Every structure is written in structure tokens, then in C-alpha cells.
Amino acid sequence: MTRIATDAGGTFTDLVAFDELTGAIQVGKALTTPRDPSIGVVDAIAQAEEEGLATAEATLFVHGGTTVINAITERKGVATALVTTRGFRDVIAIGRGNRPDLYNLHSEPAQPFVPRHLRFEVTERMDARGEVRIALDHDDLAAVADRIAASGVAAVAILFLHSYVNPEHEQAAARFLRERLPGVAVAASHEVSRQWREYERSNTAVLSAYVQPIMARYLSNLADALGGRGIDCPAYCMQSSGGLASFPSAVAAPLVLVESGPAGGVAGAARVGEALGEPDILYLDVGGTTAKCSLVSGGRPVLKPDYKLEWSRLKPGYPVQIPVVDIVEIGAGGGSIAWIDPAGAVQVGPESAGSDPGPACYGRGGTRPTVTDAKLLTGVIDAEGFAGGRIQLDVAAAERAFGPIAAHLGVDVVAAAEAVIRLAEANMINALKLVTIQRGHDPRDLTMVVSGGGGPMHAATLGRELGVRRTVIPRYAGLFSAWGMLTARPRIDMSRTRLIALGPDAMPRVQAVFLELACEAATAFGVAAEALIADRTIEMRYRGQEHAVATPYAPGESLAALLESFHAAHEKAYTFRLDDTPVELVTFHLAAELETPRVGLPDISAETTLAEAACGNRPLIGADGRLAPAPVYTRDLLPPGAEIAGPALIEEATTTTLVLAGQTARIDRYGLISIAEIPSAENPGTERDDREAAG
């Protein structure tokens, strides 16, 4: 009775196995194999088997990774064609007129994933009410099918105007093309989005088709590999929404996996917050390639209302209509490379050494300095005990890598390494402020959960800088995204755009739309609608506005209550409300989950003492820039209730937690490490603690 989850990240593939009967956890960690990530998954499974994992007892397998996002950003999807309504083949090229930075003269338009010669038009027309204006011309469609066959593409996206209201023509075209073009993947827009806005829906359909054969092949290989290791159980992928999708569902709509790995960590952070009685959590994951931060509000991950792939100040990106956890990601991971720019300033990232060759200290051929090398030189990482002792680090190689930066700054390599760490942490703080202060949340009101192989090494500094209530390091922090996947439930997200004026006769129509969505979700799961856990939201706006505000809706809610919820949500988002202005309902969203048992946080035993957990001292850089001995503790031996005053290091197989001077780390019943400032006027960042203690 074991649940297994794997997370194939940019550098490492992590595995967590949870015994449903005993609560025991087994782990595995292997280098990611970019050419075929399933190899890294098998390597992690094999490593866990050496530690006693019985794969034949698996009852659930969950997988997350970067296959979809990598295929898109590296342009390694398949050749794709687009079939659309006559006169509209250039929608995906025209896009929207807005730019990320209005006055930036170097702004670059998004280039469509389907070139113009592979965008085909068919005679048909549906109006905005879903009424047929021009019937689908089947001769037209047959001619287009012949041209697609001759083009040799591997996938086709279908986007007909207003098919989100009435998909009749798209359904007919999809059936025809699937019969006429065997072996070619077909993605119809109504199958992946039932929302308005043709450009966004076009991107969603095209990108789904673009990666569908990639995911079909990958998940097929992975399923075969799992079978070869004796794993025969239901298999799921982690969705970007924080829920699970079966392998067949993931192949049918692969774009829901675009932020698969990071979403697992956010789901896990929500579960940790639930155990702590903290519904609002700031979450940070620092891996080998990037640092990702997100927010949990009211016990649920915050979703991004306007997700855009590849958005930047210079690029408008590709807006798509899928539910995605609101994540800010920067190139500041353990493998991020430090470099000197043309102006002579030291920079960190976004380029990463990855897993091959990796940081210089890995001894795999890397010669450029990274954050991991810096942590080794400043004493945070133990050269002999890295990755549970499986990887021996080369201190001399790290020193050589930092030589040029040290010479440029006129300092020794340890000081140069400390400077690089501070730069990386400054970048992380800016990202954390984007999901808190810029979204209207005060970090001082939040608990921060930090994970990833690199996160606990930076957590104490970041928590102090932001002034959070406390900083929590979960167990198996270096594998936390994989653990978070085990806390998720199977989920399906349904949406409908229906423009309804909010008035006395609107509520029955609201209930009818949500009933329709619930029935579709129940059918997809093969259960009764009553067996689902459903969240309902409505995008609402004042008449005359272009965009809408997501407003929660409870079944049976009154008109007055819904209206007040919208006014409050609008005021929170834009600082004003218009109580006397007519309101419109725009798009209805239903997030349905299967009610299944979830993995909890098991209690840790109290069979050891703090003294038994102590394992010596290690030179650690202090606030004065000098190396001084600091106590080191083995995390697995720390008993609940233990308190450790900084400076100190707490080691485990997948990461090391740094506790600064002026801080204390407490171990709770679940083995969570909570880092807080020691209330004292002499310690920075403790003014809040003093006020709370006094009040």
C-alpha cells in the first residue's frame, strides 16, 4: 500500500514514496536525463528500491516534470497545422495590440507556432450566440485534409469562430480529420477551452497540438518503464492547477502540465499550512536551475488569471486559457552561473550549469562558478556529505571557478562566493515581493514555507529580510515538490463563457450553468456529481468594462450576496467599487476534485535527544565575513520540541538548513523546522516580534 511520486526537474529527478499503513517515507534522487526524462525516473526508482521500496505494493503513481514547458520554450514540439474559419487564419499572428512595456522600442511580437503556409481556412460560420450562419463545407474540409496530409505535419489544431458557444462544426471537423489523417494528432479548441477570446483560445489549441505527440510518446515510454519496474497501479500527472490528471487525460490536454513540477510544491505548501493552522502561506522553491515562488490564500493555491507563456518585458508571450498556479520564476537556482557583465558588475543567472556538466565542484567538467560552489566555499555545504554522501564535491575546483570573480573584486574566493550568494538572494527577495507586496499581501502577515535542494540554505536570510511570521522547512525539503504531488487529488477544470446581465432572473441561469459543468465533470470521472468536491467562481465585471474579476460563488447563494462578493473583490483588486453600475456575468469556472484520501504529515518519533543529533562543527561564514565553527545537526535525529540557536547547520540527505545568528530553529511534532528571530532589540528584523510580545 504505497503511493509513489516523481518530479523530473531541470537538474534532479526526485522520488517520494509514502506507506499508507505505517506513514513511513522512502526517497530517491537521481540526475535528470534531458534526452529522455523517463530514464531519470527509473534511476530514482532503482535507488529507492535499494533502500527497501517495494514497487509491487504501489497503489498510486504520480509524475510531474518539465517535458511540456521544455518542448515549448526550446521549440522542440512537432510540426503543426491549423484549420480555422475562412478569413481568420492570421488571428494567431496578429495577436493583441498591447505590449508588456508600452514605451520599449525593442519589444518583440510573439511569433506564431504555426507558419502561415500551414494555416488552412474552411468555409463555415457560427455567430456569438452559437447559431449557424454558414454551414460547414465538407468539400472544403476534404480539400484541406489532403493538403495537410501532403504537408507531413504530425499534429493539427482546429479553431472555428465562436465554437466555445456551439462546438458542432468543430466536432464534425475533428471526427473527419481523425478518420482521414490516421497517426496525426488532432486538438480541437472546444476540447481544451470553452472560453471566449479567439486569440487566447487559438494559442491554447495550437500549443496543445504542438506538444501532444511529444507527451503521448513520453508517457507511453514512462508507462512501459514503470511496468518494467513492477509498478502496476493508476498513474497520474501533476497538473498546473494543483490537481491530478490521468495519463490518458494528460495526453488529450497536455498543456495542463505546463507548470507541473512547481504546482506540486505549492500543493504541498498548502497541506503544510493546513497542518499548522496557517491558511495563508508564502512558498519558495529553490532548485538546481530556478527559484519559484507562489502564494497560498485561504488554504488554496492562488491561480493566475492571465497566464502567458514566455512573457517578459520585451515579449508579450503566449496567453493561454488553462488554470495555472500563480508562480513567479527567476533564474536563481543552485546551478545558476555567476558572471561579470560588460560594465564590470557581477551577475547571477539566469544561465544554469544544469546537471551536465553541473557546478564546478561536481567534478563533471564544469568550470564556471555557481551558487552551489559558493555555498560550498562558505561552509554551508559539506563536501563529504553532499546528497547523502553519494556525491563527493571538489573544493579546489570551486575555488578555481571563483578565481576570476575574486580577482575582479579584489577579494579572496570566500568573500567572492559570499557576494554571489547575496546577489542571488536579492533576486529571490524581489521575486517574493512580486507575489506578495505587488499583489496586495503583507509578507509580515504570512508564514513562509521553503523547499528545494537550495531553498533551506537561503531561507533564514530571506525570512529575515521579508519579516515573515516564521520560516518553515518541511521534511524532505529537497524532494518537496514530489511529496506535494502525493497530497493532490484528481481534478478537472470546466469553464463556460455565458454573458448574463446580473438581475432578478439571473440566478436560475447561474445554477443551470454550474449544473451543466458539474454533470460534465462527473461524467469525465465516471461518478455521481455528489461525489465531487467543487469550487465555483464567476468572472464578473461592471457593464462597459473589458476584463472581469474572479468572484467565488456558493450553490444557492442569493443575488445580493453574489453582488456584494463581486463589489468586494473588485475593490480589493482595483481599490474602488461602483455600487450603482449594472454588473455582467462573463465566464463560469468549476474546479471539481474526486474526494480521495490524502497524504498527511506523519508524526516523528521522540527516541533521540538533541545531543545525539549533534554531529560536530564546520567552519561557516559569519556576518563579519569570516569563517568560524558552527554546530552541525543531523535532521533525522532531531526530536520534536528541540530548539537550536543560530548560527547552526541542520543536515539531511537532500539539503542543508542554515540558521543565522539571532535566530532559533524549533522542531515540531511533524519534524518541521520553524525558524524565527529571537526577540531582541539587538537583532535585526525583530521589531515585529517585540511589538507582538508586548501586545
Averaged pLDDT, 231-257: 95
Residue 425 pLDDT exceeds 90:
yes
* DSSP-based helix, strand, coil % in the chain, nearest 5: 35, 25, 35
Q: Give tens-digit pLDDT for 453-476.
A: 899 999 999 999 999 999 999 998
CB-based contact 376:395 (threshold 8 Å): yes
Question: Helix, strand, or coil here: 281?
Answer: strand
Residue 554 pLDDT exceeds 60:
yes
Residue 36 pLDDT exceeds 90:
no
Averaged pLDDT, 520-549: 93
pLDDT band for position 694 (cuts 50, 70, 90): very low
Residue 692 pLDDT exceeds 50:
no
Averaged pLDDT, 519-534: 92
Predicted pLDDT of residue 680: 66
Predicted pLDDT of residue 688: 42
Residue 312 pLDDT exceeds 80:
no
Averaged pLDDT, 483-508: 94
Q: Give tens-digit pLDDT for 652-666.
A: 888 899 999 999 999
Give the Cα separation of 355 and 224 in Å (integer): 25
∠ at Cα 333 (331, 334), nearest 5°? 145
Q: Give tens-digit pLDDT for 48-104.
A: 888 888 898 999 999 999 899 989 988 999 999 999 999 999 999 999 887 777 787
List, in sequence order, every beta strand (DSSP E) within 110-164: 119-122, 125-126, 132-134, 155-159
Residue 314 pLDDT exceeds 80:
no
Give the Cα separation of 138 and 123 in Å (integer): 9
CA 240 to chain CA mean position, Å: 6
The helix (run of H) or strand (run of E) holding residue 8 is: strand 2-8
Predicted pLDDT of residue 158: 98
Question: Quick count: other Cβ atoms within 10 Å of Cβ 72?
Answer: 21
Instruction: Tell me the CATH number of domain 491-594, given options 3.20.20, 1.25.10, 3.30.1490, 1.20.120.
Output: 3.30.1490
Q: Give tens-digit pLDDT for 605-617.
A: 778 889 989 998 9
Question: Helix, strand, or coil here: 544?
Answer: coil
Predicted pLDDT of residue 383: 85
Averaged pLDDT, 12-22: 88
Residue 513 pLDDT exceeds 70:
yes
Nearest 10 degrees: Cα torsion 41, 46, 47, 51: 130
Averaged pLDDT, 524-537: 91
Averaged pLDDT, 282-288: 90
Give the Cα separation of 458 and 380 in Å (integer): 10
Residue 563 pLDDT exceeds 80:
yes
Between 355 and 49, the higher pLDDT residue: 49
Give the Cα separation of 320 and 79 in Å (integer): 19
Q: Residue with C-alpha cell 565542484?
A: 361
Q: Give tens-digit pLDDT for 94-137.
A: 998 877 777 877 778 889 999 999 999 999 999 999 999 999 99
Predicted pLDDT of residue 127: 95
Q: How far is CA 155 from CA 73, 178, 674, in A?
A: 18, 10, 50
- CA proximity to 206, closest of 326, 72, 317, 99: 72
CB-based contact 274:299 (threshold 8 Å): yes
Q: What is the mean pLDDT of the chain?
A: 90
- Reading the block at residue 586, the C-alpha cell is 462573463
Residue extents of the structural domains in the chain: 75-211, 491-594
Predicted pLDDT of residue 444: 93
Portion of the chain with pLDDT greater than 90, in percent? 68
Residue 544 pLDDT exceeds 90:
yes
Averaged pLDDT, 167-180: 97
Give the Cα separation of 508 and 502 in Å (integer): 11
Predicted pLDDT of residue 388: 67
Between 387 and 14, the higher pLDDT residue: 14
Residue 1 pLDDT exceeds 60:
yes
Give the Cα separation of 203 and 119 in Å (integer): 13
Predicted pLDDT of residue 687: 42
Predicted pLDDT of residue 690: 40
CB-based contact 512:291 (threshold 8 Å): no
